[in-house]
Every structure is written in C-alpha cells, then in structure tokens.
Structure 1
Amino acid sequence: MTITNEDAKAAGSASSLSRMLQFGDSMFPIGAFSFSSGLESAIQEGAVTNAATLRAFAQTALEQAARGDCIALIAAHRAATADDVDTLVRIDAQVYARKLSDEARAMSVRMGKKFAEMGVAVVGAPLLRAWRERIETSVTPGCYPLALAIGFAVQNLPASQAFIVHQYGVATTILGAALRLMKVSHIDTQKILYELTRKAEEAYPATAAARLSDMAGFAPLTEILAAIHTRAHVRLFMN
C-alpha cells in the first residue's frame, strides 16, 4: 500500500490531536481536580447561584487567564523552542509574582511541578528534566503555564494548541468543581463548556501578540473570593 502525502499529513494531525487530548484531559494526574479556582467561596458567598452566574464566573476566569498566564505560556513556548532555560526562569518568576492569593500560587506551582514530573516520565525530553531539576532545587517556582509550554514545545506541538489546552483546563476545573458544589446538571456544564471553549480560538491572536509586560488579569472579586477560601473553616477543595 502506498502512503500519500495526504495520509502522512493526516497521521501527523491525528498524533498532534492525541497529544492535546492526553495532556489536556481532566484526568491527567496533576491535581487540578482538587482546586475550585475560587468557585467554592463564590457559591458560599452567593456570587454564583445558578448556571448563568456559573457561566459568567468561568468566562471571567478564562478572560483573566488569556490576559495573564497565557501570555506567559506563549512566551515560554518560544523560549523552550529555543532551549533558553534562563528566559524560562525569568518568565516563571513573573508569573509567580502576579499570583496575588496563596491559593492561586499553590495551585499553579503544585500543578506545574506535577506536570513537569509527568512530562519527564512520559516524554522524557532533556529540557523537561532540566526544568524539573530547577523546580526541585528551588531555582524557580515552576508555575503550571511554564511546564505546559515546555511539554508542548519539546514535542513540536504549537503554542496555539498549548493555549487551547490551558483554557480548556481552566474551564473544566471550574465546571467540574461546580458539579460537586451546587445544583447544576451535566447538561448545563457541557453547554457552558461548549460555549466557552468555542471562544478560545478567537482569543489566541490577541494573546499571542501581547508582550510579557502586558501580562495582567484584573479580577478583584476573584482574588477576594480566593482569599476568603484560604481562611474558610469548612472546605471541600484545597487552598
């Protein structure tokens, strides 16, 4: 049987898609399921009460990520492609500095460390090993966007796919928590996920064109809710 160029291209696309599915799966063991991204406090304080307010909360989180972590994600992907570890460390420091709440910092570094560890075990690329070592020796915090960017870059997967996986993860973390915290159906959360992820591709060009110094995510209510959650006496999710 003759393999055509079209067949080879389709096979490459399928392989790329399978990697997106694997590393973007909510069951990929990096601990995202144990955080609510402030949703638990939002429900306790009455800011999220139904599917409509849940959608608005998740939309805000995605917009905040696109203006913040994802700018760093794309910059880190470029640095990883160039095998520039020093630049990766500098980007990581800027991501960490912009995490205002203890919960946001804990979530990002725990997920980042686990992603780096899983990347070494599954992919085994030298750059991932070097990054894990810098995390373990406290050279760098190891925030999640950096680990995701490096993981995709070493597999020759584009930054646009890393961006989609990041945004999908933000949405599924919140919606998965909602199913355990409030009266909302799987149909509701799937409809919200479909609507929100459809917009992710539209947001990519603006994020990719931004400079690292543009990284900011002004969402004061989200930060306040995260702070409340840190001090809460009763919690289902980690702080």
Structure 2
Amino acid sequence: MARDSTLKCSAPQGMVHLARLLQFSDTTLPIGSFAFSNSLESALQTGIVNDPASLLQYVEFILRQSARMDGVALLHAHRAAIAGTYDAILEADCELLCRRVGEEQQLMLTRVGKKLAELVLKITPSSTLERWLADIRTGATPGCFPIGQAIALAHMGADEAETFVMHQYGVASMILSAALRLMRIDHLDTQRILFKAQERANDDYLAVCSLCLDDMATFAPVFDVLVAHHTTTHVRLFMN
C-alpha cells in the first residue's frame, strides 16, 4: 500500500511526561526496593497468606494502610514542593517516620528514600531534592521514600493524583515481586492480582486527599505483629 504523502503526524502533548512517569514507576528502578517484601514473608510463614486469593486480600490490605499513612504524607509533601514551602516537606517527613512501627519498616522507608533522591539527582537537577538529600545526610530529616517520591515527581510535573497512583502501584508491585520468590505462584497470577488491586486507586485517593498530617494513622495490629515476627525469624530472604 502506498504511503499517503499528505498525512502529517504530530506528537500528542504529554508524551515525554508519560514516558517519565512510566520510567519512575518501573519495578526495576535501582533503589533497593527488591530487598523488602512489606512483611509478606512473615505472612506466608504464619499462614495468613497461602494462595492467590489470600495474596490479593493481603495486597489490598497493605494498599489501604499505605494510602492512609504514606499516601497522606506524600500528598502533603507534593503540595509543599509545588508551593515551595520546604519546612512543610520536613514536617511531613518526620511525621511519617514517627508513625511507622518497627525498626525495619523505618529502615525500608529511609533507605529507599535516600536511594531515590540520589538516583533522581544523577538524572535531572532539582534544588529542593538536593537540599532534602543534604538534610538526610546531616540527620536533619529522616528521608522517607514517599517524601522523596513527592518531591521528585512534583519536579517532573506530575500532579498529586498521578503521584499517589504511582506510589500505590509501587507498593503493590513490591509485594507481588516478592511473592514470585516466596510462594508457588506465577507471573500470570501476580499480574491478575495487580490488575485487580488497582481498582481501588480512585477510592483510596478520595478517602485521604483531604486529610491532614494529624489524621495520618492506621489500626493494623495483624500487620504490626507480622513486622515484629519478621525481625526474630532465623531464615529470611527479605529485610522486611
């Protein structure tokens, strides 16, 4: 078939923006998240998760918890980054860490947060992110991952809803990536679970978008027990 010489193509607006959002939601992003399972390892050892159905329930539970903790801090940090109110970023960072139960949970947040800041600054300059990383290194702020994600994505032009969805997607992907190494499940099952779990993104965002930092809390005793269990187990593949 002959090519229509009159056809003129134009790139839709936002293609570069979309490509960069995909890059920073990729599970292969080298920030060390592969070392954590969000306590799935203990959930399997204690029998709370034992098949694809219970894994889906676990992922949805963690997403709900994440939205009401990390998600609230992330939204406040994103708004602060857009507004240029740096002190509000530090406030969200500290408020989030002090609500995280368990040393390994705190380690996960801060280690991955620092790695993300270092990675982004190798790719694109950001004065806010550079200042935040400097404060992490001096101990002035803990450096929680959702805060770094909020700063970085605000710098790249992502709105708060996009930033929230990317964070929640990363949480689900982290658990399901660990599941492939921890239980008898294949990639088809994990992709089906990921597809299903994302149905809650809109409701979770609407549930937390108007909350203040003082509202940031979850009642999740089973998860807290799993976090404690993981710190004492003798054989484990993941740091958390």
Same fold (TM over 0.5): yes
Q: How is 1:43-82 mapped onto 2 (pairs within 5 angstroms)?
A: 43-82=44-83
* 1-structure distance, mates of 2:117, 2:187: 31
Aligned to 1:96: 97
User: Which residue is 1:20 aligned to?
Assistant: 21
Distance 1:157 1:190 in 2: 25
CA gap of 1:15–1:202, structure 2 versus 1, over 3 A, is: farther
**Percent identity between the two aligned chains:** 43
2:111 alignment counterpart:
110
1:125-174, CA deviations, whole angstroms, 9 ceiling, x for partnerless residues?
11111111011111000001100000011122111111011000110100
Tell me, in whole angstroms, the C-alpha distance in 2 between the residues paired with 1:131 and 1:176.
29
Instruction: Tell me the TM-score normalised to structure 1 length.
Output: 0.94
- Name the count of aligned residue pairs: 233
How do 1:1-239 and structure 2 match up within 5 A? 10-12=12-14, 14-239=15-240
Q: TM-score, normalised by structure 2?
A: 0.93
CA shift for structure 1 position 203: 2.0
What SS does structure 1 have at the residue aligned with 2:184?
A: coil
- Separation of aligned partners in 2, 1:45 and 1:211: 35
Q: What is the letter of the counterpart of residue 123 of structure 2?
A: V
- After TM superposition, the runs of 4+ consecutive aligned structure 1 residues lying more than 6 A away are none
Q: Which amino acid aligns with 1:175?
A: L
Task: Please state how far the C-alpha of 1:205 moved relative to its aligned partner.
Answer: 2.1
Deviates more, 1:52-61 or 1:205-214: 205-214
Deviates more, 1:120-129 or 1:34-43: 120-129
Deviations 1:22-53 (CA, angstroms, capped at 9, x unpaired)? 11111011111110100001101111100011
Structure 1's unaligned 5+ residue stretches are none
Does the CA contact (< 8 Å) of 1:33 and 1:176 recur in 2? yes
* 1:156-195 residue CA offsets vs partner (Å, 9 max, x unmatched): 2111111011000110100110110011121111110001
Residue aligned with 1:149, SS: helix
Q: Distance in 1 between matches of 2:158 and 2:75?
A: 12
Q: In structure 1, what is the Cα distance between the partners aligned to 2:154 and 2:198?
A: 22
In 1: Cα distance, 2:74 partner to 2:222 partner: 24
Does the 8 Å CA contact 1:102/1:227 hold for their aligned counterparts?
Answer: no
1:135 and 1:7 mapped to 2: Cα distance?
Answer: 43
Which amino acid in 2 is paired with 1:109?
Answer: T
Deviation at 1:7? Answer: 5.0
Render the CA deviation track for 1:78-134: whole Å, top value 9, x for unaligned.
Answer: 111122211111111100001011121010001100011111111211111111101
Return the letter of the residue paired with 1:131: W
SS at match of 1:209: coil
The AA in structure 2 aligned to 1:11 is Q
CA distance in 2, matches of 1:81, 1:7: 30
Deviations 1:183-217 (Å, cap 9, x if unpaired)?
11211111100011122133212221212211112
